[in-house]
Structure 1
């Protein structure tokens, strides 16, 4: 596991810019890891009050898919995520790769024909569904069983005398059984004897709290992006809007790289990413970020976002000076600038951070090794950022970069800063 994702202890001091996610293992009958339940956490403390089911689940999904990453959170296992009725019907559910998530239907959900139809649609899409916190065998449970794959039984709250009949009926219907809130060896042994398939509770492990740095996205910027998406924007307009929000681009690339999309080629431009994800998925993700973002009103400038946004624009403009008719090279230059600092956001080495994003080899080599024309442009940009004139001059020694005279570079710096300032939200 990455150092930035190590389980934390409750008394660890964490800066507010971190995001947190809880996960509790679900084990099989042999004691091997089967899955994780993913839990809302808002601090290193191993607990979190949930006042809004929709917002809590939005946070969990945003942090798993976009901020920390599915592979870092789940490894090769599935994640159980709590879903209320509104979320089950929301398109946002499709941001989650269906082969990696189990939708855990909360006990507060009202079952009716519409919900059963929706459950069937979700299962047809590849999701598994589970009933959460079942405590008794009743008509509601029996009606819901055909539409789910798994039943989680609250081992503490269920009448122990009624437990054998409840477990036997669920097993008879061909559903997997999870015993949750297993707190003693006696609980575990009894659940095994009753035929439970999986087990979860403090007897095995308390939830771990994972932490990583929070990528900030402005609610105002997200709303502006949603407004643009609602009008079926042209590729150029959408590309321009996303370029104004580098932190959103980083997260979109992580979504594109999830197993829900299965990219067949590496992304070398923002346009590639938009085409891979599609405007509908971008809309879903933007909506999820809007749900999950409880900060940022008014929007406060992030120095890291300022730096990466200005750098990306500078590199794009420089690329156009070098190759005026090569839009692909300009796009790749912009993407190189955007992701040149992604390792800072993810708090890990650049080479490791870039393995999580499906970027072209030219961009990866430029960032990690400083190789190729994009690598030269990146070095020029970095040197310009710190005012290192000798390094700029050394980078310009190659005749291929002769057009980037000191006067041109100075103008590009001003133009890049002006471009970012013009689109920065206060």
Structure 2
């Protein structure tokens, strides 16, 4: 679908569904999710073209109701890149100002017209971040009074430069956001430097602790999953659930969330088994594992959201590829949600698979990213890191006979479902 927006005296043609989409989590100091940056890559011009601004941003904004920005970011804030052309356009009437932070791209030349436009938008209630700051240049100083957030890309910033610049911006009462945070060590360094927000997949990287054991509650869930996988009788499964009062309570609470879509309230384990079936029960047990730390006051919501998004997106891709094969969709969900369990438990994936019996196709996907499910998982992981995705992304999209429009629609459904789960978990 094509459309255009007017800006800087010209109409720019837009094709809404020609972009791959990613949302990257932004966490606060307590590791709670506070925002997503929305990134877009042109699906037609090859892997080298990442468009997180210009016509990509305009395309999304102009068709916010179609694309469903609320579906993409849920209850969070959305960070969007804007350049001079977007800033000078009349596109802002499409934007929910309370839900977005506009990132000023580092390549934009500051002119009196640009400054006046940003001042007008700030007065109108829009918030701004300054992206990829590497110095406190004249342009940065001119923009500083108008922005709330300063972003530093850790790939481009040696520690010496961070040590020099961060105190200056803290004195100006600006929030500091570190992006491309890929390790726990980087996160800890930025935390000590006083950063407020963190963007990157450090939280999803497993930190293996030697001798780490599963907690009793985690063991109960894993044993129950093994019972289901081994085709145990319903009575044995019910008995195992009822032995653990906390497990029973949390399971019933979870299966009554809107994300399950049950037409009536489920009040007993027997009902849960009857209405949900074993595959669905296994699914909610897997989700419980990610939700459990939240009950203890730990901020694991980002991992819960990422795992449930992966699970749902793999399921939807499988349904698209083999619409009549329900078993394939269930297996794909399991691969997606189990793909972060080494991070969740801080133990190697190999040890997890020793405790929960899975079919070889699932094991191959989780351990080696091989087979059809391994390909689906690799595709989803490439989509998460869309800026760095190379030819592999395009090859996988072709392999599964998906269009960029297919992927956007499947992602929106997965985002919406995951956010619903996280809200009630």
TM-score of the superposed pair, with normalisation by structure 1 = 0.42
TM-score of the superposed pair, with normalisation by structure 2 = 0.43
Structure having the higher Rg: 1
